[in-house]
Amino acid sequence: MLLISGKPILEHLIIRARDSGFTQFVIAVHYLGEVVEQHFGNGSSLGVKISYLKEEFPRGTAGALTLLSPTPTLPVVVSNADLVSNVDFGSLLDFHESHSGDMTMAVREHEWQNPFGVVQTNGIEISSYEEKPVSRSYINAGIYVIDSAVINSLPRLEPYDMPYVFDLLKDRGESTIAYAIHESWLDVGHPKDLEAARMFNLNRVNLEKHD
């Protein structure tokens, strides 16, 4: 519910998904859930339908899905609520369905530059030296598509997050696939990230005004 350009982060996510063609949303709430409900209501002010999963205890991102009622019959798009992104949710869902995945994770390439020269040794001999190398890897973007059959097979009475579900599916031999996003993306997990998100959003608005 932290504000960016006058709207809660979650509202930006809902608007983004709405503009991709989504009309029905379910928000899992626990601590201060009444604040979320009071702000969004049934979603009519945003032109969508919103209902709520009220957790009696924190169930984790994946555990909350077992509270969905009625039971899903189609794939479900799941997103963390602390993301600022321009990801196209419709394209993500299309990708999942076209590749017949049981579960899809949106991933984003992350670069990290070592601030030091890296030395490899063989005993006391220097075998290689690289000045401030850049490492690249894919990171979890906190957005997923989960097939309805997967949700219906999850344990019902315990909290767990998405890594548990991926491990479960891998053990079963089911399909887990990655969808690389190239749109802007920021996980707002710390105060400095919130400030960066607010600057990002303001810059985006300014660019749009000049188009």
Q: How confident is the model at residue 200 (pLDDT cuts 50, 70, 90)?
A: low
Burial bucket for residue 164 (CB in 10 Å: 0-12, 13-18, 19+): middle
Q: How confident is the model at residue 193 (pLDDT cuts 50, 70, 90)?
A: low
Per-residue pLDDT reduced to its tens digit, 6-30? 888 899 899 999 999 999 999 999 8
Q: Name residue, tokens 């969508």.
A: 48
Contact 166, 156 (CB under 8 A): no
Contact 147, 75 (CB under 8 A): yes
- From the list 135, 136, 138, 154, the residue with the least C-alpha distance to 146 is 154
Indicate if the pLDDT at residue 206 is higher than 70. no
* Predicted TM-score (pTM) of this structure: 0.83
The residues that bridge with 25 in the sheet, in sequence order, are 50
**pLDDT number for residue 92:** 96
Indicate if the pLDDT at residue 2 is higher than 80. no
**pLDDT number for residue 201:** 54
Per-residue pLDDT reduced to its tens digit, 123-178? 999 999 999 999 999 999 999 999 999 999 998 878 899 989 999 999 999 999 99
Enumerate the H helices of 114-190 as residue ranges.
Answer: 148-152, 162-172
Indicate if the pLDDT at residue 209 is higher than 90. no
Per-residue pLDDT reduced to its tens digit, 42-79? 999 999 999 999 888 888 889 999 989 888 899 999 99
Q: Cα 126 to chain center, whole Å?
A: 43
Parallel, antiparallel or unpaired: strands 83-85 and 125-130: unpaired
Parallel, antiparallel or unpaired: strands 125-130 and 118-122: antiparallel
Indicate if the pLDDT at residue 202 is higher than 60. no
Q: How confident is the model at residue 1 (pLDDT cuts 50, 70, 90)?
A: confident
- Residue 137: both structure tokens together: 């890897």
Q: Name residue, tokens 């097939």.
A: 147
**pLDDT number for residue 49:** 96
Parallel, antiparallel or unpaired: strands 76-79 and 134-146: antiparallel
